[in-house]
Each structure stands twice: as structure tokens, then as C-alpha cells.
Amino acid sequence: MTDEYECPTCGERFTRAEAIRSETTGGLDPRAWQTLNCPACGNRVRTVFVGDE
């Protein structure tokens, strides 16, 4: 599991801890899944499993 991401919109590199987290779409359990958003521009970057956090 990677801890570094790059935003495809603005190119910002950030870690999982720096990401802005939001609930997913599509009915996934928000206690287990979250969407990581770019801290610079707010673009959705990746949906990740967080059930073990």
C-alpha cells in the first residue's frame, strides 16, 4: 500500500495523512472506505480501504 499520491489535476504530491478525506460514492461503507482528495486543489485522487485504521 502506497503512502504517497500525486494529483492528476494539479501535480501536487502528498501523503495519505495530508490528504483531505471524504466519504465515497456508490454506497461503500464509510467506516471501511474513504476517498482521498488533493489538499491543494480538492480533486478526488483515490478511494482507499481504511477499515484497519
In the chain, where the domains are located: 4-49
Q: Given this model, what pLDDT does residue 40 score?
A: 98
Per-residue pLDDT of the chain (53 residues; tens, 9 = 90+): 568 999 999 999 999 999 999 988 888 998 899 999 999 999 999 999 988 76
Predicted local distance difference test score (pLDDT) of residue 43: 97
Q: Are strands 4-6 and 13-15 parallel, antiparallel or unpaired?
A: antiparallel
User: What's the whole-model pTM score?
Assistant: 0.83
- CB neighbourhood size of 7 (10 A): 21
